[in-house]
Every structure is written in C-alpha cells, then in structure tokens.
Chains A and B, each alone.
Chain A
Amino acid sequence: MNFEEPLNKETIPLLMQQLDKLNASNIDIFDFKQVERVDSSGVVFIEYLHSRFVNAEFINISSDIDFTLQTFKSDLDEKIIEPVKPGFFENAGDIIYKTLEQSKEVMYLVSDILYWSIVGIFNHKGQRKDAVAQQMLLIGIDAIPIIGLLSFILGLILSLQSAAQLHQFGADIYLADLISVTMITEMGPMLTAIMVSGRSGSAIASEIATMTVTEEIDALKMMALNPIRFVVVPKFHAMTLCMPLLVTLSMFVGVLGGAIIGSYYLNIAPGLFWSRVFAISSLRNFTIAIGKSIVFSWVIVIIGVYYGLNVKGGAEGVGKVTTASVVASIFWIIVLDAINSLIFYY
C-alpha cells in the first residue's frame, strides 16, 4: 500500500476507512515514499499499522519521519495503570466503613468544638478581637430582612389558606390559635434554620474549605493557633446567640401576617387576635422551639466545619463540599425536628 499524502488528522480517517475495507492478510508492504510529514495522529496510526499488520514491511520512511516517530511515541516506558473499579460488595463495604469512620471523626469534631466554645466563653486567647461581633453581624443582622420577609409571607399564605376553611365553620377566631401554634412550634424554627443553613452554613463550609486548600489552616496550626478556636468558635458563639433571636423574629412576623389576614379577611379585631395568641401560646412550646433552634444552629456549624475541613482538591472541591454541607444540614434539621416532635408532642 502506498501513502500519497501527509499522514495527519485530516487524512487518517479516510485511510482508516480504506483499510477496513481491505482484508488484513493481503497487505505486506507499506510505502512511505511520498509521505513528507506526520503529526501525532500519524505516529499513532503507524504504530497501529505495526500492531495490526505484524508481518508487513514498512519501507522508505524518511529520517525526518523516523525522528518524529522516536520523539512522539504513545508506547510509554512507564505503564499507566488504570485504577480498578471496585465491585458491588467492595463498594458497599467501603460505604459502611467510611460511614463508621466519618461518625468517629464527627464525634471528635463535636467534642472539640463544644470544649473550645465553653473555654472560649471565659478565655478569649487564641481568638481575634471582635470576631464574635463580626460574625453576629454576618449571621444575624444581615439575615433579618430576608428571614423577616419570608416569615411574613409564609404567615400570610398559611392564614389565608386556613381562614377560608375556618370561616365555613364559623370558627374565625381559631385562626389565631392555628397560626400561632404553627409558627411557634414548627414553621418559625424550621424556616429560620433552613434559611440560616443556606446563608451561613454554606458560607462556613466554603470559607473553611478555602482556608484548607490554601493552607491557611495549616499556617494557623504552625503559629500555634488552634483553628477550631480561631475560626470556628466565634461562628459557633455567634450562631448560638443569633439563632434564637432570628427564630423569635420569624415567629412574631409570621403571626403578624396572620393578624393582618384576620383583620382584613375575617374582620377579627387585632386586639382580640393578639390576646388570643398570647392566651394560647404556652411558655413550654416556646421554650421547646427555642431549644431546638439552638440545636439546629449547632448542627449547621458542625456540619459546615466538618465538610469544610474535609475538602479534597481545589476550587471544585470547595464547591462540592459547600453544596454537600447545605444538603446534609437541611437533612439533619428535618430529622432532628421529627425526633423532637416525637419526644415532646407524641
């Protein structure tokens, strides 16, 4: 077979087609006389010919081409070993093993964070001045508008939906009961926790992940600063303080939405509505709600920190752990909320 053109990525597809039409056994000479140039696909093509037509002769290869062939060869000295994909059972075992390993790490982290945040209340060494205040601004104050607005809208929607039903039974005033119980026991804590995990949980995870990949965490350790103390504790404190306040705000604004619907849609006087709200709301419910919201705030911090510290790879890794941390914290918030309901209201 004679090649009449340069062997490159333009000519090779056609040559491959021609070759496929021929029978393998009936080529025994490849003549490269007219070939002036080969590119790297040409090199690979010639290697392929060698392996397919083992007995064929390759003639008239110019020294130029030979040089190219020597320089670019796909046949490496060092074999690249493709990693073996683990089988089903191996995978399953791996997942169990990793989960156990993970829970152990999380436990260590939790005890570390709790320990240092208690120490951190009395001893501010190893923390930056004003760090807590700064974090409270970010986690708490900055979240007020959005949490307020959403809770208000949620209050409006919930009461609008229920008002129509209650009105049919002439049970208008029970709107106050309904909306205050819903907002205080469920919606306030839940909505706030989900918003905070989306806003601040993700920020915590990505900040710590970035610090990990840029070796800032290592640098802190080398300056004898405990990263948990320096980075995490201020966030933990700020979160613990802000969450109950945000939840209270959310409850109040949600009920306010109810009061507005009540007064415009069902003609319930605001005074009557609010006195009913305070009569029905028990301190017990409120305390349980605040208690669980503090637990939620811890879950958000701990999960954010855990994912942040365990980041792998560069920018892509940071994105991944941020997403994963938000998903995980919302998951655990809902699970814990369910457990809480079972314990206190079943």
Chain B
Amino acid sequence: MKKYIIEVKNLVAKYGEKIVLDDISVNIKAGEITVILGSSGCGKTTLLKNILRLYEPYSGSVKIFDQEVTTMDEPEYNLILKKIGVLFQGGALLNSISVGENLAIPLEQHTKLPDVIKDRIINLKLELVNLAHAKYLKPSELSGGMEKRVALARAITLDPDLLFCDEPSAGLDPITSADLDRLILNLKEKLNMAIVIVTHELASIHRIADSIIFLHKGKMLYHGSLEAAEEANIPEITEFFETGKFD
C-alpha cells in the first residue's frame, strides 16, 4: 500500500497574470495531521482549492488517493469527493436551510441510509461539536464560532478518509479551540483520518501537527516535522515561531 494520500507535483496557480503558487511539490501522508502555515495572503487557501479542483491549476498535477484528479471527469471525481470532507474558512453553511438540513446534504447525496439512521448520524455529529441544541436553528442564528463548529460537523458527517480544514480555530476562544483540537486528534486516532489544516495558531500547531508545510510568498519553504522545522534555521520560519512568543 502506498502511504501518500495526496501527491502534488509542480503545481503553479495564477489569478490572472499574478502567480500565487510557484511550483509547489508536496506529498501528504495518510493518517497524519499536516498543518499548512504561512503569513496571511501567502496562498494557503489557494493551495487547498487547487488541490480540491475548485480552481483549475495553471499547471502541475494533483493526485488524491493515488488518482490524478486534475484531468478526471465529474462522476469519477464525485466518487473521490465521497471520501473527502472540507471545512471552509468562513464555514460556508447553506444559509437558506437549518443546521440539521445542512448536515443531511452529504448523507442524502452519497448514501441510501433510511431517514431514522440519517437523523441519528446528524445528532451524533452535532453532539461531537457540542451543538446538538442548534439542530433546528438557521446558520444566521449562530455565532461565528458556532458556524465553524457546525461546518466541521458537516465536513465529517460521512467519516471521510481525508479532511481539509481552512483555519478551523480562527475566531474561537482558547478553550473552544483546544476542544476542537482534541476532536481533530480523536478523528485522526479513532477514525484514522488524514487531516490537512491551515492555521496560524501556534498553540494549536504544537498540539496537533505531525508535519508542517510552510508557505512563503507562493513558494514552499519547508515540509517536515515541527521539531525539525524549529531547528532548520530558515529565517522566515524562525521569525514565524519567534514572533508568536512575542509576549
């Protein structure tokens, strides 16, 4: 069995003429938590969206579960999506329907489970993020942090093999954020999920990261373990970690 779940080769991404990702090659291991970090605007979200085919890469190749996805047709890619959960930076809950219905969408889309079972799965996932009471609320009635947590619940309704989280803990208080990290660690250990997370929170990085990818101005400066990164003497990375200890 191959141990890489995502293989990105020579990925270049552009917005118009502007190069946002410059020749990124990276392999992400199964069953690990990989943290993508880098300063604001360096291209983290863009990298995720190019991997997930939401943007068409300018050039390069992306393999997920050993299959080339950049050239794949839609029905085939939908099968892959079944095994992927995504938490977007802003939550991206569908605003016209309730929290419970939001969680029901992936279940309806990808499974033929009877309604009773679906309903219990929804309850279970909401319970995981401590929001069972919010089931019948509309997303507009939630706070920012609650929206994030519901969005995480939606991303894991199908127990995906691969979970992407774009800044899950931004805007959360330290306690909720630690709870979230615990949940993420559980997902990795109990369900053997591979998780790719974009985050700036140093505390969170230390708690969860198995390996880190450091982006700087569209280039990948480092990929490897956190400990090695702190000793690698790459000025940008040292600065990133040192500044965090500012006070």
Which A residues are within 8 Å of any B CB, using their own CB?
126, 128, 210-211, 214-216, 218-226
In the complex, the number of residue pairs spanning A and B with C-beta atoms less than 8 Å apart equals 47
Contacts of A224 in B (CB 8 A): 78, 81-82, 109-110
A216/B94 in contact, CB under 8 A: yes
Contact bitstring B63-96, A, C-beta under 8 A = 1, else 0: 0000000000010001001101110111111110
A214/B109 in contact, CB under 8 A: no
B128 within 8 Å of A (CB atoms):
no
The interface on chain B, measured as residues whose beta carbon lies within 8 A of the other chain's beta carbons, has a size of 23
Most chain B Cβ neighbours within 10 Å, of A215, A220, A221: A215
B54/A218 in contact, CB under 8 A: yes
Question: Whole-angstrom distance from the CB of B1 to the nearest CB of chain A?
Answer: 25
Q: CB-nearest residue of chain A relative to B107?
A: A223
Q: CB-nearest residue of chain B relative to A222?
A: B86
A215/B84 in contact, CB under 8 A: no
Q: CA A211 – CA B93 in complex, angstroms?
A: 9
Which B residues are within 8 Å of any A CB, using their own CB?
49, 52, 54, 74, 78, 81-82, 84-86, 88-95, 97, 105-106, 109-110
Q: CA A214 – CA B95 in complex, angstroms?
A: 10
A215/B92 in contact, CB under 8 A: yes
Given the interface pairs A216-B93, A216-B95, A218-B54, the reply to whether A223 lies near B88 with Cβ below 8 Å is no
B54/A223 in contact, CB under 8 A: no
Which of B91, B93, B105 is the one whose CB lies under 8 Å from A225? Answer: B105
Pairs of residues from A and B, 8 with the lowest C-beta to C-beta distance, nearest first:
A219-B92, A215-B92, A224-B78, A224-B81, A215-B88, A222-B86, A223-B106, A216-B92
B92/A128 in contact, CB under 8 A: no
Q: CA A211 – CA B49 in complex, angstroms?
A: 16
Given the interface pairs A126-B109, A128-B97, A216-B95, the reply to whether A222 lies near B52 with Cβ below 8 Å is yes
A219/B78 in contact, CB under 8 A: no
For the A-B complex with A224-B78, A224-B82 known, give 9 more contacts whose Cβ atoms are closer than 8 Å.
Answer: A214-B92, A215-B89, A218-B49, A218-B92, A219-B92, A220-B94, A221-B54, A222-B85, A225-B109
Question: Whole-angstrom distance from the CB of B124 to the nearest CB of chain A?
Answer: 18
Question: Whole-angstrom distance from the CB of B113 to the nearest CB of chain A?
Answer: 15
Question: Whole-angstrom distance from the CB of A308 to the nearest CB of chain B?
Answer: 14
Contacts of B91 in A (CB 8 A): 214
A219/B81 in contact, CB under 8 A: no
Most chain A Cβ neighbours within 10 Å, of B82, B92, B93: B92
Contacts of A218 in B (CB 8 A): 49, 54, 86, 88, 92
Contacts of B95 in A (CB 8 A): 210-211, 214, 216
